[in-house]
Amino acid sequence: MISPDLISGIAFWVFKSLWESRDETYKLLSQRLNQSIFYASKEYQANYISRHGFIRQEEFRPSVPLTKLYISPSLVDHEIPAYSRNKSSIYYKEIDYLNKLKLTQSGDSLFSQHKHLIVKGDSGIGKTTFLKKLGLEAFSAEEDASVGGYIPVFIQMSQCFDKDIDFQNMIEEEFQICGFPEYEGFVESALRRGKLLILIDEIDAIPHQFQDDVLVKIKSFSDLYKSNRIILACRKSLDIKILTHFHSVNILGFGRSQIQKYIYKVNQIQYKEPVSAVTCQEIWQKIGEKDKATRLIVHNPFCLSIVLSLYQASAHRLSGRTILYEKILSNLLGTSISPGTLDLAYKGSKNSIEARIGILSEMAYVCLKSGRNYFHKVEIHRLYGAIVQKRNLQYDQLNFASTREENLNDFLINASENLYQFSNPLVQKILVSHYLMSSLKILDESIDQFLDTPSWKDVFIFLAGMQGADYLLSIIQSRIFYNLKSPSLSNFMNWIEAVSEDVCISSNQAVNRCYVAFMVFEIMLLFGDRGSEQSIISSILKKIKEVISLLDPECHLIKSINPRSIDDIKLSSNHFIDPKIAKGLSLERLLDLAAILSQKAQAYKLINYSNSQRLLSTILHIRKQLEGRSMSAYHRKVCEKNLYMLWMNSFDMADSNFKFTTDDLQSFHLYCRGTCLIVHCLREAFYVSGKLQDNVIQALFTNPFPALALTSNS
């Protein structure tokens, strides 16, 4: 039910526009007709609020009043060059930068300068909501405000399927359904007096073959009634050169502060009570800074709403990135193309959406497979044509070019004059996942060829989230096992299994095995003579840490030392060593670190008590002897080598067992990366059988080739 206090203002403007009219007919209105118009005016406002005053999105049930959730977006009156953006740039940071330079504007400042505006932006960026909010403001605004003194009329062009459009008739229908007496004469009078705020949404949704005719009609209509305010909304791709007297602005979405305000409002509506700033900041940290899948899209209000909904539904943790990007993909496919424009038909396909995703997914696959980020316009056009021909799609030859542009819109952006790139790398990768689902042969080839390629990691994770993951996990597991086939790595995995039986860092035995491997490489990085291999060892440590944090988020081994404050903090047993600071540590600090690591290893039962005490006392003795003395680089290296030997003895393992070659380290890094991928797939999987899941977890950091290790030992 519409609140009575919302029904105010419009009756005044309706009467004012009538009685100021020079049309003598309306000056002779009877008192009874006056009352009819007054009540019809109230009905019009109530109808507008009912239809356009609420956020109707799946994530908000029941619908939420627009005024309670609305955050004003950032606007610019010029196009931001796409070539200045990195492929994976964080868009909200660029908006913050523009805000800082004061290059963005508010709606009020733009409306005070221009009566006729075109608001352009990406799908889901808030164009429709922006127009609806302008209409709501007109009901309560003062006459001297930017939208004050105008009666809002909202026209949805997505409902128009031909070129026979009469804008005056469409406006009359808005008043007719509210019971306005003499609505035709009233609309004519209001138009001539310039009393309407005409909001025309989704003009790009008109079938492409009719768009030029409709734009001509908009120009003629706006020229005839130029004293009215007319605001249009469309996507960036629409060619609007004919509308010369319209000023074009771009809606960018949200910067950091706007996102945080939106988070606060959404949570306040969700919990129906004030939410603490600390809670909102925690949510922001997770979705805006830490998670790669969300920080690329949180500037977009539609996507941000989905992110917050999934965050709340997942007990305040981020999961289900496949669901998130499937919803985004569905929105792009369903709303970013004109009805009737896609005159393509799969043989056996049910609708044009299926045809479109078939084309886009294969294009995404070919582009990702190439290993390039940018593609010449000619390449894109040829690839599109080849795929259409390969799939036996039927199309209208005359409209082929325009249909192609419609299909590619919102997925590919023009990075420069002749170069294209995918606007969001994760949208590209979920499209690739759709393509891989269509062919088991292509899936096997892709796993075989790209499993160790970092840019394909998200493809396999999406694939696990879109279907049963048993087959995918089995193939990946068998592939990564081959990275452990060398005798030295096989022996190392046997040793990890044996030592980890007593380790108590976690109740998950796989985490304990990860910790053993982590500790060994941590010691190797700090004290082993591995100068030329430090980067690969540090990469191994990062991947093992990621696996641990995925398997057991509550595990203590997930904090890092900030290299900037290494000399100012007291190292705790929870810290792991950031490889970037290893070279910069003084020998005294290195010995302090060795002492802390020995205590941590003993606490988690990686080494026994007697070995730990022997190691600790030796370290402290060396530390005391060196206190206040200078030391050459040579003597430091000797000291580090002795520390390394002490650690090997404490592990009850000869140094020869850790003599990994560079090839061994690279193979182990690939194994760790593959293990990380498996755990991500398990977390994201739409379905995985319980038995396989247990087997996969139990096999992490174990020796898949025990016979090889036995042969080597003999």
Ordered domains of the chain (ranges, CATH): 4-69+106-253 (3.40.50.300), 256-315 (no CATH), 352-467 (no CATH), 482-706 (no CATH)
Q: Can you state the angle between helices 509-527 and 633-650, rounded to 10 degrees?
A: 160
pLDDT digits (tens, 9 = 90+) for 66-113: 888 888 888 887 655 544 444 446 788 888 888 888 888 877 777 778
- Of 152, 144, 140, 129, which is closest to residue 55 (Cα–Cα)? 129
Place of tokens 């004519």: 188
pLDDT in tens, 134-172: 888 888 766 555 556 788 999 988 777 666 788 889 998
Distance CA 72, CA 508 (A): 47
Q: How confident is the model at residue 678 (pLDDT cuts 50, 70, 90)?
A: very high
CA 130/CA 336 separation, integer angstroms:
18
Q: How far is residue 474's CA from residue 573's CA, in Å, rounded to a whole number? A: 37
Query: Best-predicted range by mean pLDDT among 53-62, 183-192, 221-230?
Result: 221-230
Is there a contact between 371 and 444 (Cβ–Cβ < 8 Å)?
A: no
pLDDT beyond 60 at 354? yes
Confidence of residue 11 (pLDDT cuts 50, 70, 90): low
Flag whether pLDDT at 558 surpasses 50.
no
| 3-state SS assignment for residue 680 | helix
Q: What is the pLDDT of residue 619?
A: 82
Identify which has the larger pLDDT, 694 or 4: 694
Q: What percent of the chain has pLDDT over 70?
A: 79
Q: Which pLDDT score is estimated for 319?
A: 60
CB atoms within 10 A of CB 434: 20
How far CA 587 is from CA of 51, 211, 633, 642, in Å, comes to 71, 73, 10, 13
| CA–CA separation, 597 and 573 (whole Å) | 7
Give 583's pLDDT tier (boundaries 50, 70, 90). low
Q: Are residues 122 and 300 in contact, defined by beta-carbon separation less than 8 angstroms?
A: yes
Banded model confidence at residue 636, pLDDT cuts 50, 70, 90: confident
- The encoded tokens of residue 1 equal 């039910």
Of 100-114, 235-249, 549-563, give the lowest mean pLDDT range.
549-563
Per-residue pLDDT, averaged over 273-300, amounts to: 82
pLDDT in the model for residue 711:
43
Write 382-385 long-range contacts (CB < 8 A, 24+).
384/359, 384/408
pLDDT at site 379: 93
At residue 315, the pLDDT reads: 55
- What Å distances lie between residue 135 and 17, 229, 408, 466, CA to CA? 17, 11, 32, 41
Given a cut of 90, is residue 673 above it in pLDDT?
yes
Q: pLDDT by residue (tens digit) across 425-484?
A: 999 999 999 999 988 899 999 999 999 899 999 999 999 988 888 899 999 998 999 999
Q: What SS3 state is found at 55? A: strand
Higher pLDDT: 540 or 654? It is 540
Compute the chain's Rg from CA coordinates.
Answer: 32
Q: Is the dihedral of CA 473, 474, 479, 482 positive or negative?
A: positive
- Backbone CA torsion sign across 330, 331, 335, 337: negative
Q: In the β-sheet with 247-253, what is the strand arrangement from edge to edge?
A: 74-76, 247-253, 116-120, 229-234, 196-201, 151-156
Q: What is the pLDDT of residue 211?
A: 82
Summary mean pLDDT of the chain: 79
Residues 6+ apart with CB under 8 A from 91: 85, 252, 253, 296, 299
Summarize pLDDT for 255-266 with one digit per residue, the tens.
989 999 998 888
CA distance 148 to 136: 11
- Whole-angstrom distance between the N-terminal and C-terminal Cα of the chain? 84
Partner residues linked to 231 by β-bridges: 117, 199
% residues pLDDT > 90 (the chain):
16
Distance CA 199, CA 556 (A): 56
* 368: confidence class by pLDDT, cuts 50, 70, 90: very high
Name the region of 340 (left: φ>0; alpha: ψ -120 to 50; beta: rest): left
Contact 177, 47 (CB under 8 A): yes
Confidence band for 122, pLDDT divided at 50, 70 and 90:
confident
| 240: Cα within 13 Å, side-chain hemisphere | 24
- Report d(CA 265, CA 343) in Å as an integer: 42
Determine contact, residues 232/211, Cβ cutoff 8 Å: no
Establish how many alpha carbons lie within 13 A of residue 465's alpha carbon, considering only the half-sphere containing its beta carbon: 23
DSSP notation for 526-588: HHSS-GGGHHHHHHHHHHHHHHHHHH-TT-STTEE--GGGTTTS---TTEE--GGGTTT--HH
Query: Which stretches within 409-528 are classed as H helix?
Result: 425-437, 440-450, 457-466, 470-481, 487-500, 509-527
* pTM across the whole model: 0.80
Contact status, residue 465 vs residue 321, Cβ threshold 8 Å:
yes
Residue range 523-534: mean pLDDT, rounded? 75
Indicate whether 2 pLDDT > 50. no
